[in-house]
Amino acid sequence: MEYQGIRVDSLDLTGMESLTGRDLNSVYDLYANMGGSGIIMQEATLLFAQIIASKVTGFPIELFYILKAGDSVKVKNRVYRFFFLEG
């Protein structure tokens, strides 16, 4: 995939392990400012996953908007698993 001259063949989301509480506060604020709804389980939404993926990869969030639907769901599921299923 390519977005504004940025070629992306894979996404490395291992940076999630380095996120801090401060990082999450900024993600939650951005999520709310972008129209994210509700305060319950926002970590399970596609928008939240796109914000997290953008933060940990350094790619602009708009890049995640143009991912194919199946790839978008894979990113969402990976973020969800990180927050709720890994122990």
Q: Do residues 48 and 62 touch, judged by C-beta distance below 8 A?
A: no
Per-residue confidence (pLDDT) for residue 58, from 0 to 100 = 94
- Give the helix/strand (H/E) hosting 48: helix 46-57
* pLDDT, tens only, 30-51: 999 999 877 788 999 999 999 9
Task: Count Cβ atoms within 10 A of the Cβ of residue 31 and give its class: 0-12 exposed, 13-18 middle, 19 or more buried.
Answer: buried
Q: From CA 25, how far away is CA 59, in angstroms rounded? A: 19
What's the mean per-residue pLDDT of the chain?
A: 92
Name the pTM for this structure: 0.90
Q: Which of 34, 66, 38, 37 is nearest to 51 (CA)?
A: 34
Domain regions of the chain by residue span: 2-84
Per-residue confidence (pLDDT) for residue 51, from 0 to 100 = 98
Q: What is the mean pLDDT of residues 71-77?
A: 96
